[in-house]
Every structure is written in structure tokens, then in C-alpha cells.
Amino acid sequence: MNFPLTLSDISLWLAATAIILLVTSELLNSSPEYSSRILIDKTRMRLAAIGCGFAFLVTVIMRVV
């Protein structure tokens, strides 16, 4: 009964998620004309994207050290 993912797996998953979220967040913030019609909290979206990015960096540091 072990957790099936290694640190490398989580790092890869975080990298993919962070890229998706960061690109989406940037697109939403750069075109307020269109994004104003989308009902999401853009500040929280950006925070989640940055959070994922940092989490990925943390996993990279953990693997290097």
C-alpha cells in the first residue's frame, strides 16, 4: 500500500499543470474585453497558477539537492 507516484512523476505533472494554468491566466488578464464575460475569479486563478509553478520549482530543487 504505497503511493504509486515518485517525485519525478509529481514534478512532471506539476510542470504540465503550471504551464496550462499560467498560459490561461495570462490570456485572461491580457484581454479584459473577452475575459469580462467569463465568470471566474481571475485573481485566484493567477494565484493557483503561480502556486503550481512554485511547487514545480520546489520539486526540482528537492531532486537536485
Partner 1 sequence: MQTNPETPKLASSQIAILLLVSGIALLAVSVFSNSQIICFIGLGLTFWGALFILITPQKHVEGSFLVTSTLPVYMTIDRMLKDLTPKNEAYNIPSYTRDVDLPEYMKGLKEMVTFIPEEHATGMAAIEDLAKGKFLIENPKGLLITPPGIGILNKIEQKRKTDLTKIPLSELDETLPDLLNELYLTKEIKMATNENDVTLQINGSLYKNLYSQEYNLKSINLLGCPLVSAAACAIAKSTGKPTMIQKIKTSPDGKTTTATLKIVQL
Residues found near partner 1 in the complex (CB under 8 A): 1-5, 9, 13, 17, 21, 32-33, 36-37, 39-41, 44-45, 48
Output the smallest distance, CB 26 to partner 1, in A: 15
Judged by CB, which is closer to partner 1: 41, or 64?
41
3-state secondary structure 42-65: HHHHHHHHHHHHHHHHHHHHHHHC
Choice between 4 and 64, CB closer to partner 1: 4
- 24-34 CB burial, b ≥16 within 10 A, e <16: ebeebeeeeee
